[in-house]
Amino acid sequence: MIATSPESTSVSWVEHQTLEHIKGALRVTVDWRAPAVSQARKKSSIRFALQSFCRHLERLMRIEEEGGYMAVVADQNPCLSHQIRRLAGDHDRFRARVAELTPRLEEVAEWQDDDFDGICEDIKRFLDEVDRHDFAEVELLQETLTLDEGGEG
């Protein structure tokens, strides 16, 4: 059984839910196709949603890494440590993507429609990567909860 405190589980759950809402808002904003909306307005809205997403993603990753499920699973089920390392590697890649995407959004000029559309597509791909990562975390937790450690007779 995974031994986490009710407080850490609650905090993690709330952060996951918050991140899901922000991901949804960012997706809606990136897909915004209203002809009356200028690129400058859309860029401003994407900037706001992306900054919020990045802050919450970093907060959640820190919670997971520092006393969250990653440390607990690795301690209680060393056989799953390779999966923990892979998920932690995802965190490193996410941090690198954030460091790349945010400045790219800032640097694109209003008249650079193709570059702006490319950044929007990159943001959507990034959100899809985070979704796949979240799914892998859920699978790992489910596997951890169902592992038979033996010893009972």
Query: What would the pLDDT profile of 97-125 be if each residue is shown by its tens digit?
Result: 999 999 999 999 877 888 999 999 999 99
**pLDDT tens-digit map of 126-138:** 999 999 999 998 8
Which CA distances in Å does 96 have to 4, 58, 79, 90, 126? 29, 11, 28, 10, 11
Q: How far apart are CA 85 and CA 70, in angstroms?
A: 9
Give residue 10's pLDDT band: very low, low, confident or very high (50, 70, 90).
Answer: low
pLDDT at 50: 97
Q: Is the pLDDT of residue 33 over 80?
A: yes
